[in-house]
Structures are given as structure tokens and as C-alpha cells.
Structure 1
Amino acid sequence: MLFVQIPGYKKTADLQAVSSSSKPLPVLVAVSIFPSRWLLYFYRCTYLLLAACLLLIIFPWLITNIAWAILLVAGWWGLWRGYRYQQKDLFAGELGFESGEWLLKAVGVTGKYQLAGEVLCWPLLIILPLRELDTRKCRYLLIANDSLSPVDGARLRTWLRVCLKPKT
């Protein structure tokens, strides 16, 4: 059996060659995120439809018993609390990536996060699942297309597609 050396093959590992998965990701200059009107209208319509569905489901029994009216009011109150919680959780501020950490800056407070799952990057919406480094609490950052300027949106989408592509 004949052994032939392959041209360009090195028997020893080259110290200069580093795998792409171990290279640090480049810095993402902070992008400004503004309150999204699209997400606001989406949440309003969704919660209004849920309230209307709750009324339609309970309406036949509403007239016969006062307990159903109390149940309807309690359901609407729960929907209102959920809606207020969603509105409070919408982010407006700056998002950046530096030295392996995501930085969220809002109203003078800076939080450090790391990715907690797969990133969703659609034309109308970007969802970043982030985990806070200090408390380990998970947060889903929803970024609608209208909450970014065209330049910031293009820069963020390009960075996400190039830097966070799956390693095969």
C-alpha cells in the first residue's frame, strides 16, 4: 500500500488558525430602540379580541346567574393586568453587544445579558431571548420594524444574520 502526502497538509496544528466558533464576536455599536406603535396596536387588538371572546362565551349564562357576571369581570380584570404588564415590559432604549455580553441601556440603567435561546429575525419582528447575568432572569426582547431607524434596523439585522448564524 502506498502512502502519498497530500499537498498543503500540515501534520502539526497551526497556532494561528483558530476555529470560527471560538473567535469572539465583533462589537455591535448601540442601536436605538423606540416605542413601537405596531406592537402597541397588536397588543390592543389581541387583548380586545380576548375580552370580546370572553363575553361571547359567558353571555348565555350571564343573565341567569350573578356569579357569571362576577366571573366575567374577574376575567376582564385579569386581561387588563396582562395588558398593562405587556405594555410595561416593552423596551425603549439602546441595545449593544460588547465583549460577549448584550447591553441594554434604558433611563440611565444598564443591564448585562447573554443569549438564552435562538434568535428570531423576521422582516417585521426580531425576538432576542436574553438572560440577565446577575439574576439569571430570562427576558424576551421584542423589537418591531418600526421601533428602529432604517439604518439601525439594517445594521442590527445584518449583525444578527452574519454573527449568529448556526455553526455546522
Structure 2
Amino acid sequence: MTRPGFDASATSAADDWRARLLMRDDQLRALLERTRRIAVLGIKTAETGQPAYYVPRAAQQAGYEIVPVPVYFPDATEILGERVYRRLVDVPGEIDLVNVFRRSRDIPPHVDDIIAAKPKAVWFQSGIRNDEAAERLARAGIDVVQDRCLMIELRFIGR
């Protein structure tokens, strides 16, 4: 029985964005299987030896096309043998996934750029979580993964 004046369809429509928050293993597997092109926001160079370099390198070795979008390294024109872009919105063509290597508190200034680039999904790396940004992205129709390591998940699915 529904309360008088309560529109259940309006509530479920308002909460539809929550379905874009991917957490289950089967959701992650499906996302990675349909992904071909990954833009890496916050990618670093090989000299750093940091996850923001070796995780995208592992994805590249697993067969994904990597598009570097560093926040630092203003002189870098190429990372992992690929042309560097300074903003996601400047990346030509479709982006299947934006892999984010930014501190949780540093994500909000990138949300408008991410939304403008219209990726199918955004992946906040292990240790990175920003629920407000995730909600904005999900409400914009973008699937969101938070606090998971892309390299570990690729290994989990055998890539």
C-alpha cells in the first residue's frame, strides 16, 4: 500500500544514479570487459616508480589503449609511448574509462572536466574515495568505481 500523496516512481527515479555506483565483482568484470580506452588522470612518469605509472602500464600490457592526462610533468609530451593531454575534454574520440590518480580531496576541481569529456565510467584508484564527486558523476550518467585498484582487478579477471 502506498501512502497518499507519495509517488514511489519519483523516488526510484531520483535514486537511479545509485545504480551507477559499481561495487560488485561481476559489475567490475563487465566494466573491464567492455572497456578498450582508458584515460589516466594524474598519470606519472616512469622515473617516479609510483602506482600512477605502473598501474596504467599494466593496463596497457593487458591490451588497453592508454591516454595519459598528467596533472604534473608540464614538459612531458609522451608517457607510455602515448601523446599527453592536459585536460580530459581535449582527448579526441571516446573515452571508455577515466582511471583517477588524485587524492580524494583533489578530485572536485576535475569533475567538470570529467563530465565534459563524457566517459562511460570513472575509476578512483585504491585509497581514493569522494562520495560527492561520485554522486555528481553518477547523476551525469557515468558509472563510478571507488577505492579499488585497477591492476588488481585486471589480474582478478585474468588480463
Output the TM-score relative to the length of structure 1. 0.24
Q: Which of the pair has more CA radius of gyration? A: 1
- Say which structure is richer in strand: 1
Output the TM-score relative to the length of structure 2. 0.25
